[in-house]
Structure 1
Amino acid sequence: MPHLRPTAIAGLLLALVPAAATLSSCGFDYPTDRVNTIAAGANNRDHSVDALGIRVLATAKGEGRLIGALSNNYDDDASLESVSSPDGTARAADFKAIEVAGRGTVNLAEVDPIDLTGDFTAGDVISLDLTFSTGETVSLDVPVVKNCFQYTQVPTPEAAQSEAAESEDTDGEDTEGEAAEAGAEEEAHAGESHEEEGGDATFNCADVAPAPEGAH
């Protein structure tokens, strides 16, 4: 029976070591298996209900509504019962608890709004606590976004008032006085927009890049 020389054995062992190291590095935590949530808002997946892409959509300084999604990880229903700011920056108006069915998801932009007021404006980041019926509280640092591009699809109090006014005008006859008043209001708004572009650009959409449709 032929015998391998010591140098041949050493060479064979050196060839096998890198292969063994490569195999031992294999695991189950591949980057492609990890959750990758691409969103402009804050995310938290540490509790029974995931809070995803949470943002405050500001309609004016100190006014806005909570948007984003809630996703229930369990079979039992859960509900969002309160929203608060630990440092007092924002206050949530009273709202009916938002139910999230077992294994279900709720888009906060498509339900009755959770209105917020306080000391914030577009571009800020504020701390919010979301408390659920499970007894868990989700703490988030939430960005405040302006009502531009894809966010214009989200109903806001200002938009609702505008639609109601348009509906009233359609139901009745538009007199010359009403038409003149409407024209004056349009001129006033145009002037305000012009002043905003030249001055405070907090809510000016010109410097915001459009995001993909449906990103909210």
Structure 2
Amino acid sequence: MQFRRSFALTTAAVALATTGLSSCGFGYATDRYYTPSVGTNDHDGTVKVLAAVIVSSEPGSGTFVASLSNRDQDNDVSLTELSLTGGEPVEFEPVVVEKAALVNLAEPAADLKLTCDFEAGNFVEVSLGFDNGENVVMDVVVVPNAGYYADLDGPAPAAETPEETTE
């Protein structure tokens, strides 16, 4: 009787110890970045690009929104180029990300307007260039200008119309 009880307790202890040791390890999902958000993240360069989306009020036009986190402790870094891959670069004033700081492109709005053949729900490849020579290319989702992203996409650039003359 004593033998059975000792054997059962030993077996239970070994099973519990083995289960605890085998449930964790190296290279599992718990060791990787996971940010539950709609946007795309890039952690590779000096500047992390976080929660990147294109907010769109209408098909073919949208505003690029993201947070930029500078991991360089000694130097400021500026976002100087933005374009859809294969498209024309957007013209804008460089966005300075101070050393060891974060800049949210939505507050205040940086007005980084992109135009191309896309609509809400699509993914488009966006290229970001920084003054330290680094480039980030990432697939970014297009989201509607509603809910959490409401009012982040201003009106699309108005098409020029010829002025009417009266004679």
- The TM-score with structure 2 as length reference comes to 0.72
| Alpha-carbon distance in structure 1 between the residues aligned to 2:58 and 2:153 | 14
Which string of whole-angstrom CA distances, capped at 9 and with x for unpartnered residues, describes residues 186-216 of structure 1? xxxxxxxxxxxxxxxxxxxxxxxxxxxxxxx
RMSD: 3.2
The code of the aligned residue for 1:134 comes to: N
The residue number in structure 1 matching 2:90 is 93
Q: Do structure 1's residue 145 and structure 2's residue 143 form an aligned pair?
A: yes
Count, aligned residues: 151
| Alpha-carbon distance in structure 2 between the residues aligned to 1:121 and 1:38 | 22
Is the CA contact 1:91–1:118 (under 8 Å) kept in the aligned structure 2? Answer: no
| Deviation at residue 155 of structure 1 after TM alignment | 5.6
Residue ranges of structure 2 left out of the alignment (5+ in a row) = 159-167
The residue number in structure 2 matching 1:38 is 36
Relative to structure 1, the CA distance from residue 121 to residue 23 in structure 2 (aligned partners, 3 Å threshold; closer, same or farther) is closer
Residue ranges of structure 1 left out of the alignment (5+ in a row) = 1-6, 162-216
SS class of match (1:47): coil
The residue number in structure 2 matching 1:102 is 99
| Deviation at residue 65 of structure 1 after TM alignment | 1.1
| Deviation at residue 127 of structure 1 after TM alignment | 0.5
Which string of whole-angstrom CA distances, capped at 9 and with x for unpartnered residues, describes residues 92-116 of structure 1? 4311111111221111112421111
Higher relative contact order (CA 8 A, sep 6+): 2
Which string of whole-angstrom CA distances, capped at 9 and with x for unpartnered residues, describes residues 61-100 of structure 1? 22211012111122122111101222x3x54431111111
The code of the aligned residue for 1:136 comes to: E
The residue number in structure 1 matching 2:80 is 81
SS class of match (1:116): strand
Relative to structure 1, the CA distance from residue 102 to residue 29 in structure 2 (aligned partners, 3 Å threshold; closer, same or farther) is farther
| Alpha-carbon distance in structure 1 between the residues aligned to 2:81 and 2:41 | 18
What stretches of structure 1 move > 4 A for 4+ residues in a row? Answer: 11-34
- The TM-score with structure 1 as length reference comes to 0.57
